[in-house]
A = this chain, B = another copy of it.
């Protein structure tokens, strides 16, 4: 199944909405994605055609198991990337935006390595210390520990 970047955006958005409300409406989807309802409908029809969700006129939208699986994968990527960006002190709102972009285009291998790196740092014996050192480095350009 080859999906465009935008198709993935729609699936992910719908997953998030459904998690809160049981089903999504055209309006929900279009407002989350910042497009007009007519644009959303066009995509919903395409995704319905691919069996990723069920869209019937004037009715709620739900993901099929297949669509949910795809959306889940994207959401996981998103979370990994956002965690990483927040870890290196990218402001939350920017981290969120950029994770949205990266989640679609990065090679799975890349996402995997980013995830490992986040785990490596977070689970390191001196974790909070590492963060503090990084912050100081960002401000001063110097390492506080062991010389220099």
- Using a CB–CB cutoff of 8 Å, the interface residues on chain A facing chain B are 85, 88-91, 94-95, 97-98, 101-102, 105-107, 109-110, 113-114, 116-117, 119-120, 123-126, 133-134, 137-138, 141, 143, 145-148
Are B98 and A117 in contact, with the CB atoms below 8 A?
no
Complex Cα–Cα for A134 and B148 (A): 23
4 nearest CB pairs, A to B: A101-B105, A125-B146, A120-B137, A88-B113
Q: Which of B85, B107, B117, B145 contacts A110 (CB 8 A)?
A: B85
Measured CB to CB, the closest approach of chain B to A4, in angstroms, equals 14
Measured CB to CB, the closest approach of chain B to A32, in angstroms, equals 19
Are A107 and B98 in contact, with the CB atoms below 8 A?
yes
Pairs across A and B, CB under 8 Å, 24 listed: A85-B110, A85-B113, A88-B113, A88-B114, A89-B113, A90-B107, A90-B109, A90-B110, A95-B110, A101-B106, A102-B105, A102-B106, A116-B134, A116-B138, A119-B137, A120-B137, A120-B143, A123-B148, A125-B143, A125-B145, A125-B146, A125-B147, A125-B148, A126-B146
Complex Cα–Cα for A101 and B104 (A): 10
